[in-house]
Amino acid sequence: MNESEYKDYALATIACRAGTAMTPELENSDPIFLTSSFCYENAAQAAARFAGDEPGNVYSRFTNPTVRAFEQRLAALEGGECAVATASGMSAIMTLCLGLLRAGDHVICSFSVFGSTINLFKNVLSKFGIEFTFVDLVDHGSWEHAIRPTTKLLFVETPSNPLTEIADIRLLASLAHAAGALLVVDNCFCTPVLQQPLQLGADIVIHSATKYLDGQGRCLGGAIVAPRELVEEKLIPVMRSGGPSMSPFNAWVFLKGLETLSIRMRQHCETAHAIATWLSERANVQTVFYPGLAEHPQHDLASQQQSGYGGIVSFEIRGGRSGAWDLIDRLRLFSITANLGDTRSIVTHPASTTHSRVSSEDRERSGITEGLIRLSIGLEEPRDLIVDLDQAFAGG
Ligand SMILES: *Cc1c(COP(=O)(O)O)cnc(C)c1O
């Protein structure tokens, strides 16, 4: 089947089948092409491939069949034209910026994005004369106010990490387009199963495949889903020369991860919702951050924009850092690690880990308090997770 034929299929079907190009062996699972380079029939063909006069593989920094299968499957899932796979989520963001921006260009980004994204923008890319303004995710006036004639990108993560705030993608897309800029959405928390930013008007989607796309905590990877012309003219040259390419082995892991994505995301959502509700009934929990709760400030927007509320639940416990650390240390089932989107449930203290390199001032502004705990709800039996939380809250 070719790609356009997948348009008529539901997401779960696309996730199992799109992008697969069978070899003459007629294998029913995607093969892994672990090869760094590719051969030619003769010297003339080598020359034609290098000159770009003939399509075909040259070197796995440029193209690789397993990586291409992942790119095509992810693009089909997001309803996008084209995707570029990268070595990590951060290298997807870096590749995008290197491809689209030059000195003097301006980017508007919400405060509440992944900590490394802030560091990349503030400490690395700003060295090359790219300018950044950070705004409050849910304050649309502040996005509008920040727009300059040189604004090229609006960058947003929704739901945000770790506070699960929801940005209005349609509204930000129209703001961006009125200013001649592009809207980039980091769709890591939702995946295309729960939210398809391109259908809501966004221009580009970023993924950390490391999270739910793998879903089993094995490999680092990332991707950019974007219009074909932008991929071919702006991003491929950075990939070819800069080399932040995805390993074919990792691409294969992600291909197999995508096949179970729909069913996994549904379960992550269901268990996370139950845990968020349970947490909201605890006396020493100040606030629960989960878009599925009616009291979440953007609950209605989340219901319109997403088909599920996701697997991340954050909450603020009384007693600041020591209260948070004590609770974390009493948990038995939850892994203490900074990853998310794994089959195994994870507990993280953002202020001292994922967001520790962010200045305390910026942390404060984005609401990452010392009592904040982030849970990435895995695929264990929901009841076992609640029993674990219960004993931890009871004091061990
Ligand atoms: C983890 C993460 C990233 C970075 O991805 P890596 O694969 O770790 O480089 C970017 N955005 C969000 C929202 C993330 O959670």
Kindly give the number of the ligand 1 atom that is closest to the alpha carbon of 211.
1
| Residues 182-211, mean pLDDT to the nearest whole number | 98
Are 19 and 70 a contacting pair, CB within 8 Å? yes
φ, ψ of residue 226 in degrees (nearest 5): -155, 170
What is the tens place of the pLDDT at every residue in 106-162? 999 998 888 889 999 999 999 999 999 999 999 999 999 999 999 999 999 999 989
Ligand 1 centroid distance, CA of 346 (Å) = 15
Point out the ligand 1 atom lying closest to the alpha carbon of residue 222: 7
Q: With a threshold of 0.85, does the pTM exceed it?
A: yes
The closest of 160, 49, 170, 42 to 112, measured between CA atoms, is 160
Tell me the residue type at 324: A
Sketch out the chain's domains with CATH numbers.
Answer: 9-259 (3.40.640.10), 262-394 (3.90.1150.10)
Q: What is the Å distance from ligand 1's center to 136 Cα?
A: 20
- As a whole number of angstroms, the distance between CA 88 and CA 6 comes to 27
Q: Say how far apart CA 342 and CA 376 lie, in whole Å.
A: 8
User: With 0-12 CB in 10 A as exposed, 13-18 as middle and 19+ as buried, what is 259?
Assistant: middle
Give the separation between CA 316 and CA 182, rounded to whole angstroms.
34
pLDDT, residue 52, reads: 86
Nearest atom in ligand 1 to 339's CA: 1
The residue nearest atom 1 of ligand 1, judged by CA position, is 208
What contacts 24+ positions apart, CB below 8 Å, involve 273-279?
Answer: 273/309, 274/382, 274/386, 275/313, 275/375, 275/377, 275/382, 275/385, 275/386, 275/389, 276/313, 278/386, 278/389, 279/313, 279/315, 279/389
Tokens (6 digits) for 81:
């034209």
Question: Would you state the pLDDT for residue 294?
Answer: 97
Atom of ligand 1 nearest to the CA of 161: 13
Residues with CB under 6 A from ligand 1: 88-90, 114, 116-117, 157, 161, 186, 188, 208, 210-211, 220, 222
pLDDT tens, residue by residue, 63-114? 999 999 999 999 999 999 999 999 999 999 999 999 999 999 999 999 888 8
Query: Stretch 321-327: mean pLDDT, rounded?
Result: 96
Residue 175, CA distances (Å) to 140, 182, 199, 205 in order: 9, 9, 16, 17
- Tokens representing 32? 């892994």
Ligand 1 center to 5 CA (angstroms): 31
* Under 8 Å between Cβ of 183 and 203: yes
Residue spans of alpha helices (H) in the chain: 11-17, 43-51, 65-78, 89-100, 115-119, 140-146, 169-178, 191-194, 228-230, 236-242, 248-259, 261-280, 299-305, 320-330, 360-365, 382-394
Cα radius of gyration rounded to whole Å, the chain: 21
